[in-house]
A and B are shown apart, each in its own frame.
Chain A
Amino acid sequence: MSLLSSVSWKGWDSMLRYILRRFLISLATVWMIATICFFLIRMLPGNPFIVANPLDMTNAERLMDYYGLSDPLWQQYVRFLGNLVHLDFGYSLAHPGRSVNDVIIQYFPVTAQLAVQAILFGIPTGILLGILSAYRRGSGLDYGTQMLTILTTAIPSYVLAALLQLLFSVQLHWFPASGWKNFSYTILPTICLSLGLIAGYCRFMRTLMLEVGQQDYLRTAKAKGLSNIRIIVFHQIRNAILPLVTNLGLEIAGLLMGSYVIEKIFSVPGLGKYFVTSINELDYTMALGLVVFQAVVVVAANFLVDLLYGIVDPRVKVA
């Protein structure tokens, strides 16, 4: 309730202008990513038809002509941008008949499910642990979370994943080691993906709680005679949580990228695997389409987080 009332209803005009400006910046970002990646991918040596199946040169040249790849680069670029505006990413070059949009529709939900589960599990757990270890500084819990941070920072994620597989699938038989059939298959990858989140948010939240704990307004709250719980929940946590919101956008980008590795270990049929193989096959349209799509996801997430921040923190100047 207090969140909504903190948005000033008179400020809608400036709010709209802010949203519009952020939206334009986001569009520019997507365009830049698309451009950079378009030219980067074309810099790769070789061409898709020689790499994917060793045809003789005349056939490869005929195919290049067919897909318009022998046109001047700027013409291809303009065509690519035109298709992009229509959200049409084209067809795969290495696997005829497979459109990039189909691949995204089929495999992105898997990646997204993993990321969403990791966020839903990791961030609240991390924040809770952070609050508790700030509240009981120097206790066993505090040292425990510190150890967790060090472990997750020091051990590469795939090693950690392998150890989890060894423990929970091979030794204890609790969860399946790899594959993607029902919910129980998602548990280990989710844990793996969220461990970094838990550790990061826990340490961050702990620092913020301790920082906020020294502020004058907390002393005021204490002097007013408010109960400890009330102070922590309504004054300390609410102020400490704000900087965490800005981080959320970057986390989503990190999760999408981190899932490349996790998806490979647990053989999860997500976008990550597709992206790497498509680049290795020099499948221009597929690789470009996937890059641009992921960039759109990340940029959209950042856009939403920025708006959210304006709502959560009334002090942010919207105009």
Chain B
Amino acid sequence: MDTRELDFTPVPESSRDADQIVRPSTRYWPEVWKRLFRNRLAVFCLILIAVIAVLAIVAPILSPYAYDEADLMASNLAPCREHPFGTDKTGRDMWTRVWVGARASLLIGFLGALAPFLLGTVIGATSGWCGGWVDMVIMRICDIMLCIPSMIYLILLLIVMGGSVQSMVLAMALSGWMGSARGFRGRVMQFKNREFTLAARLQGASGARIVFRHILPNILGNIAVGLSSAVPGAIFMEAGMSYIGLGVTPPRTSLGQLSTEGINFFMLPSKFHLFLFPALVISLMIFAFFMFGNCLRDALDPRLRDEEYNARRLRSLRRALRRGKKVQA
């Protein structure tokens, strides 16, 4: 009996198309970058962040005034050519002050997002990799810490350590590691029993090496999204603490502190600039980070990839049709 005839029927010509690969194959990260940079909003946010960062670094250096240099002859000036953002009540140049404050806020934003995350990653990795009673203890501590309003810790730690960028970042790390520890633990447990981990273990790799060299790259995407959405939170936190009076202490300054000071005068038209510029810069900063995080999440989401590809193809086909070109469908 000729089994080949029965078991392997040739595929009919018409169904070939269904199995075609619809888009060119690429690697993961180049594809993500390409999709990110194709998104106009993402590029705009990136440029905005870059501009603010560059101004924060360069503007105070180039400015003829020091950020804490008082000039009582020139107090409460409205924005003019010498002082683009005006001056405050002791005649300090607001342009310099705003960008010096932006330095502190950016630093707190970046480090305040990174520090809790790093701490949480190490703790979560330990918990997920070791399992057993270590995992139990760490996760219970985590549960309990999550129940406690983090602001209480933050306030206490800030008072103990005094208000500065370093203590702010340390306080954020100590009060905010639980979320990322939990997330990272789950991911480590998910990848712990996969074949590539087993292979690495058979080759004699240590636990730390497996977690950080083999498992970490697999979840880099989630980490990037988490980090970029934590930056606005950290900047916000600094602003909130400044408002209560626990932020960066004078004479050093931050955007939170500047806008807090400005808020006392915002009803007076003549001093409105004291409120407007710091609030504007901090809002733009948070907006840019927030939207960039959203775009990054979209770029990393594989479910959206095919949708986007099809939509783009459809658009280019339509454009070609409109121009009257012959289209190969």
Partner of A156, one of B245, B283, B290: B283
The answer, yes or no, to whether B208 is at the interface (CB within 8 Å) is no
Q: Contacts A25-B143, A44-B160, A302-B147 known; A153 to B290 CB distance under 8 Å?
A: yes
The answer, yes or no, to whether A229 is at the interface (CB within 8 Å) is no
Contact call B266/A162, Cβ cutoff below 8 A: yes
The answer, yes or no, to whether B189 is at the interface (CB within 8 Å) is no
Chain B residues contacting A276 (CB-CB under 8 Å) are: 155, 244-246
The answer for the CA separation of A25 and B245 in the assembled complex, in Å, is 34
Contact call A43/B267, Cβ cutoff below 8 A: no
Q: How many residues of A contact B (CB 8 A)?
A: 42
The answer, yes or no, to whether A291 is at the interface (CB within 8 Å) is yes
Nearest CB of B to A207, in Å:
11
The answer for the CA separation of A141 and B259 in the assembled complex, in Å, is 32
Closest to B161 in A: A43
Chain B 109-121 interface mask (CB, 8 Å, partner A; 1/0): 0000000000000
The answer, yes or no, to whether A316 is at the interface (CB within 8 Å) is no
Contact call B243/A257, Cβ cutoff below 8 A: no
Contact call A158/B263, Cβ cutoff below 8 A: yes
Contact call B279/A159, Cβ cutoff below 8 A: yes
Q: State which residues 239-259 of B face A: CB under 8 Å.
A: 239-240, 243-246, 256, 259
Contact call A260/B151, Cβ cutoff below 8 A: yes
Closest to B158 in A: A279
Chain A 278-289 interface mask (CB, 8 Å, partner B; 1/0): 011000000000
Closest to B264 in A: A162
Contact call A261/B157, Cβ cutoff below 8 A: no
Chain A 32-44 interface mask (CB, 8 Å, partner B; 1/0): 1100110011011
The answer, yes or no, to whether B311 is at the interface (CB within 8 Å) is no
Q: Contacts A156-B236, A158-B260, A162-B275 known; A29 to B243 CB distance under 8 Å?
A: no
The answer for the CA separation of A159 and B149 in the assembled complex, in Å, is 23
Chain A residues contacting B60 (CB-CB under 8 Å) are: none
Most buried by A among B144, B150, B232, B286: B144
Closest to A28 in B: B144
Q: Contacts A150-B287, A154-B286, A158-B243 known; A43 to B263 CB distance under 8 Å?
A: no
Nearest CB of A to B69, in Å:
27
Partner of B148, one of A162, A275, A295: A295
Q: Describe B's contact surface by its main secondary structure.
A: helix
Chain B residues contacting A250 (CB-CB under 8 Å) are: 146
Contact call A40/B148, Cβ cutoff below 8 A: no
Chain A residues contacting B160 (CB-CB under 8 Å) are: 40, 43-44
Q: Contacts A43-B160, A298-B149 known; A260 to B244 CB distance under 8 Å?
A: yes
Chain B residues contacting A295 (CB-CB under 8 Å) are: 147-149, 152
Interface size class of B (residues with CB under 8 A): 35 or more
Contact call B244/A264, Cβ cutoff below 8 A: yes
Contact call B279/A156, Cβ cutoff below 8 A: yes
Contact call B290/A261, Cβ cutoff below 8 A: no
Q: Contacts A37-B152, A156-B256, A257-B149 known; A279 to B282 CB distance under 8 Å?
A: no
Most buried by B among A32, A159, A302: A159
Nearest CB of B to A52, in Å:
15
Chain B 98-137 interface mask (CB, 8 Å, partner A; 1/0): 0000000000000000000000000000000000000000
Partner of A257, one of B151, B156, B259: B151
Closest to A253 in B: B149
The answer for the CA separation of A26 and B150 in the assembled complex, in Å, is 17
The answer for the CA separation of A4 and B111 in the assembled complex, in Å, is 48
The answer for the CA separation of A95 and B287 in the assembled complex, in Å, is 44
The answer for the CA separation of A261 and B155 in the assembled complex, in Å, is 13
The answer, yes or no, to whether A299 is at the interface (CB within 8 Å) is yes
The answer, yes or no, to whether A166 is at the interface (CB within 8 Å) is yes
Chain B 213-245 interface mask (CB, 8 Å, partner A; 1/0): 000000000000000000010001001100111
Q: State which residues 153-194 of A face B: CB under 8 Å.
A: 153-159, 162, 166, 170
The answer, yes or no, to whether A256 is at the interface (CB within 8 Å) is yes
Contact call B148/A279, Cβ cutoff below 8 A: no
Nearest CB of B to A169, in Å:
10
Partner of B147, one of A44, A150, A264, A299: A299
The answer, yes or no, to whether B78 is at the interface (CB within 8 Å) is no
The answer for the CA separation of A156 and B283 in the assembled complex, in Å, is 7
Chain A 252-268 interface mask (CB, 8 Å, partner B; 1/0): 01101100110011000
Contact call A156/B152, Cβ cutoff below 8 A: no
Contact call A153/B232, Cβ cutoff below 8 A: yes
The answer for the CA separation of A104 and B182 in the assembled complex, in Å, is 34
Partner of A154, one of B149, B244, B290: B290
The answer, yes or no, to whether A99 is at the interface (CB within 8 Å) is no
Contact call B147/A298, Cβ cutoff below 8 A: yes
A residues bordering B, Cβ < 8 Å?
25-26, 28-29, 32-33, 36-37, 40-41, 43-44, 150, 153-159, 162, 166, 170, 250, 253-254, 256-257, 260-261, 264-265, 275-276, 279-280, 291, 294-295, 298-299, 302
14 further A-B pairs in the complex, CB-CB below 8 A; given A156-B236, A256-B149: A37-B156, A156-B256, A158-B240, A158-B259, A158-B260, A159-B282, A253-B149, A257-B151, A260-B151, A260-B240, A261-B243, A264-B244, A275-B155, A279-B156
The 4 A-B residue pairs with the shortest CB-CB distance, nearest first, are: A154-B287, A257-B151, A253-B149, A40-B156
Could you list 16 A-B pairs, sorted by A, with CB under 8 Å?
A29-B143, A29-B147, A32-B144, A32-B148, A36-B153, A154-B283, A156-B279, A157-B240, A158-B239, A158-B240, A166-B266, A257-B149, A257-B151, A261-B244, A264-B244, A298-B148
